[in-house]
Amino acid sequence: MVEGVGGSAVLRQDSFPPTRLDAENLACRRGGRLIFEGVSLTLGQGEAIALTGRNGAGKSSLIAMLCGRLRPDGGTIRIEGDEEDVQLAEISHLIGHRDGLKTALTARENLAFAQDVLGDAAASPEEALTVVGLPHAAELPVGYLSAGQRRRVALARLLVSARPFWLLDEPMAALDTASQAMLTGLMQAHLKQGGAILAATHGPLGLDGARELRIGP
Please tell me the count of residues contacting another protein according to CB under 8 A. 29
| The only residue of 116, 135, 147, 214 in contact with another protein, by rule CB under 8 A | 116
| The only residue of 11, 79, 99, 195 in contact with another protein, by rule CB under 8 A | 99
83 near another protein, judged by CB under 8 A: no
- Name the DSSP letter for residue 74: S
107 near another protein, judged by CB under 8 A: no
Give the shortest CB-31-to-another protein separation in angstroms: 11
Q: Which helix (H) or strand (E) holds 125?
A: helix 125-131
| Residues 123 to 162 in contact with another protein, rule: CB under 8 A | 157
What order of strands is seen across the sheet that includes strand 33-43? 33-43, 19-30, 76-81
- The residue (of 1 and 117) whose beta carbon lies closer to another protein is 117
Q: Are 19 and 164 in contact (CB under 8 A)?
A: yes
| The only residue of 113, 180, 207, 216 in contact with another protein, by rule CB under 8 A | 113
Give the shortest CB-162-to-another protein separation in angstroms: 13
71 near another protein, judged by CB under 8 A: yes
| The only residue of 27, 67, 181, 207 in contact with another protein, by rule CB under 8 A | 67
Dihedral of the alpha carbons of 70, 75, 79, 83, in degrees to the nearest 10: 90
Give the shortest CB-69-to-another protein separation in angstroms: 6
73 near another protein, judged by CB under 8 A: no
- Name the DSSP letter for residue 161: B
**CA nearest to 211, candidates 93, 27, 60, 51:** 51
- The residue (of 5 and 34) whose beta carbon lies closer to another protein is 34
20-44 as b/e: b if 16+ CB within 10 A: ebebeebbbeeeeeebbeebebebe
Q: Which helix (H) or strand (E) holds 162?
A: none
Q: Are 74 and 24 in contact (CB under 8 A)?
A: no
Task: Give contact residues for another protein (rule: CB under 8 A).
Answer: 67-71, 89-90, 92-94, 96-105, 109, 112-114, 116-119, 157
